[in-house]
Amino acid sequence: MAPVLSERILGSIVGSAVADAAAQPLHWIYDLQKLNAILAGEPSPEFHPHPANPFYRRETGQQSCYGDQAYVLLESLSECGGLNVHDLKQRFYKFFGPRSEYDTPVNDPSRDKGSPRPQLPISGPWRHASLKSFLKNMDAGREETGCDIDNQIDGITKLAPVVALYAGKPEMLEKVEDATRVTQNNDMCVTVTLAAARFLEHYILNGPDPKALDSVLEQLNDPSRKNPQELDRTVIGHIHQVKENLLKTPQELIPAVFSNA
């Protein structure tokens, strides 16, 4: 393998883990005024020394629930020499399930929604919707273990190891979809994750490229594309929206585009 290619493969995995740890202390702060107040005193958001997540608190440098999923996926791929869905399910269950660090009363998948609201933030990691649904499906012995209503960012945040392993191979997208549906059996989630996988594969194989958006758009518009999804046209529209807003800063873009989100 060419040294530069191998470095990009390794960099995609390490970069994903570092980015997750860097963002974790300020994770899930939806109140922009609160976030701006925090950054006013410490303007660099990366590896913020004072965790301010309103839902959970972990030490700076530790992974979020998303980074932990990527770690488990990487471990499974390494141990099995490729994607083994059965092994991945077992590892996810062990890492996030009963008697794990994630197994706390607040994170109980069967906790009554009508019970008193927990005191937040909790100390320790947060087990969120797709993981709770996955655990319930595993306990019920279902073959399809992924949550069918959750379309959050999990698929994208944990895809680096599987794309890194299969980049340039015809089965890459198939493996990404199979890995994603283990915990998120939701078509929108799968569609956007496959689009993200195409981007990451492009950068792994080609390095920096200002035409990456156009390359992925060409792939998604190809009638013979691999792993076609019914929602691909929706993702194409969003990528065009990204192109139209490339010159805007996050401070300009977020209030303008996501104010009603």
Contact assessment for residue 66 and residue 129, using Cβ atoms and an 8 Å cutoff: no
Q: Is it the case that residue 257 has pLDDT exceeding 80?
A: no
- Exposure string over 156-195, b if 16+ CB within 10 A, otherwise e: bbbbbbbbbbbbeeeebbebbbbbbbbbbbbebbbbbbbb
CA distance linking residue 255 with residue 86, whole number of Å: 43
**Model confidence at 38, in pLDDT bands (50, 70, 90)?**
very high
Domains of the chain (ranges; CATH) run 3-111+121-258 (1.10.4080.10)
% of the chain surpassing 90 pLDDT: 83
pTM of the shown model: 0.93
Contact assessment for residue 75 and residue 51, using Cβ atoms and an 8 Å cutoff: no
Q: Is it the case that residue 260 has pLDDT exceeding 60?
A: no
CA distance linking residue 132 with residue 228, whole number of Å: 28
What is the average pLDDT across 234-260?
86
| Cα torsion 121, 123, 128, 132: sign | negative
Q: Is it the case that residue 33 has pLDDT exceeding 80?
A: yes
Least confident of 30-39, 156-165, 201-210: 30-39
Distances (CA, A) of 116 to 113, 120, 218, 232: 8, 12, 51, 41
The pLDDT assigned to 256 comes to 79
Q: Which residue has the higher pLDDT, 203 or 36?
A: 203
What is the average pLDDT across 239-244?
94
Q: What is the pLDDT of residues 63-94, one digit of tens each?
A: 999 999 999 999 999 999 999 999 999 999 99
Q: Is it the case that residue 261 has pLDDT exceeding 50?
A: no
Q: Is it the case that residue 253 has pLDDT exceeding 80?
A: yes
Q: Which residues are bridge partners to 123 per DSSP?
A: 57
What is the average pLDDT across 149-160?
94
